[in-house]
Amino acid sequence: MALISIRSLTKRYGSAVTALDALTVDIEPGIVGLVGSNGAGKSTLIKILLGLVAPTSGEAKVFDLDVQTRGTDIRQLVGYMPEHDCLPPDTTATDWVSHLALMSGLPRTAARERTAEVLRHVGLYEERYRAIGGYSTGMKQRVKLAQALVHDPRLLLLDEPTNGLDPEGRDEMLELVHRTGTEFGMAVIVASHLLGEIERVCSYLVAIEGGRLLRSAPLGSFTEGTGTLAVEVDENAAGLAARLTEQGFSTAVDGRAVLVALAGDRTYDAVRDAVVELGLPLIRIELRRHRLEDLFRDDPAKPAAAA
């Protein structure tokens, strides 16, 4: 049984906007990155999983429970951190988080204890007795994370958790997400359009674009070698490319670098010989790896053209 199983899930807003287009994917426990550009359908997918939004067609199951009929059961075991602000300014973090713990079904004393624990876990101390209105963005994000964790969910859905944070705040938030997922074995889904962040905390990736599944695979397979050699020279990259093409290699020029499709060890020799023959100042030769950004480009061999 997959943690989340999604079958040809479609969501249309009116007739013009299709947020999800027959999406089918299984998601296993772990820290899963949900990546896609803005408007790819990440938030819509999360809201459907929570039962906040009804799908137009298709089926989605969380913990093997249908989101449309068993929403209340699912939501007791899921923590949700929305993308937008969702905090009352006139209430203290302690009051708000423990109130939401009650809303998740925790008894009153347990709600209070869990609130203190969880606020400490996210790094809020004396501030938690002050009204949220006076908090910095970083502190607000922590409260949002705390309310998602307070009822100790089995699944945590985080929608752009680093939104509005400065670089240091991002690092701390990602570290916290990573630790929550790994040390406590909680399943976490992190939606983000920032691929660099996703790379740092996730073990598995689901990439969507235009409401469709682009790819769903372990992080490692996204970044394994592509078999492209990047040869960076100081001048005449075009000449080098031409020389290698003559010898039957497929090449592309990317600025000062020539990208050569790797065809066995003889590729290295051919590159070396060509550089020597043309007398080019060689800067470096490196084996290119897939980067996450390449997911959103038509041709991985020509990153510059598509960017």
Partner 1 sequence: MPAQAAPATAAAPVETGSIYDLGYRRYEGPRLGRAHAIRSLFVHSFRSTWGIGRGSRAKVAPFTLAFLATIPALAILAAQALLRQFPGGEGFSNQLPVRYETYASTIGVFVVLFCAAQAPDLFGRDQRHKLLSLYFSRALRRTDYTLARMAGFMLAVFLLQLFPQVLLFAGQVLLSTDVATGFLDQAPELAKAAAQAALTAGLLGGLAMTVAAFTPRRAYAVAGIIALFVIPTIVTGIVVGLGSEDLGRWLILLSPSSVLQGTNSFLFDVPIASDSGGLVPYIPDWVYLVVALGGIVGSVVVSMRRFRGLTV
CB of 20 to partner 1, least distance (A): 15
Q: Decide: helix, strand or coil at residue 282.
A: strand
107 binds partner 1 (CB under 8 A): yes
- CB-wise, 183 or 246, nearer to partner 1? 183
User: Taking each helix axis from N to C terminus, what angle separates 266-278 and 237-246, rounded to the nearest 10 degrees?
Assistant: 130
Please identify, among the stretches 76-84, 224-232, 266-274, 283-291, the one whose residues bind partner 1 according to the rule CB under 8 A: 76-84
The DSSP H or E segment spanning 41 is none
User: Is the Cβ–Cβ distance between 162 and 197 less than 8 Å?
Assistant: yes
Which pair of tokens denotes residue 199?
């790379």
User: Is the Cβ–Cβ distance between 205 and 191 less than 8 Å?
Assistant: no
The DSSP H or E segment spanning 103 is helix 93-103
CB of 60 to partner 1, least distance (A): 15
Interface with partner 1 in residues 171-190 (CB under 8 A): 172-173, 175-176, 179-180, 183-184
- CB-wise, 136 or 247, nearer to partner 1? 136
Q: Which residue has the tokens 């819509």?
A: 44
136 binds partner 1 (CB under 8 A): yes
- CB-wise, 8 or 136, nearer to partner 1? 136
Q: Centre a 10 Å sphere on the Cβ of residue 305 and count the other Cβ atoms it contains.
A: 11
Task: Using CB under 8 A, list all residues that contact partner 1.
Answer: 50-53, 71-72, 75-76, 78, 80, 82, 84-91, 95, 99-100, 102-108, 110, 114, 117-118, 120-123, 131, 136, 138-139, 142, 147, 149, 151-152, 172-173, 175-176, 179-180, 183-184
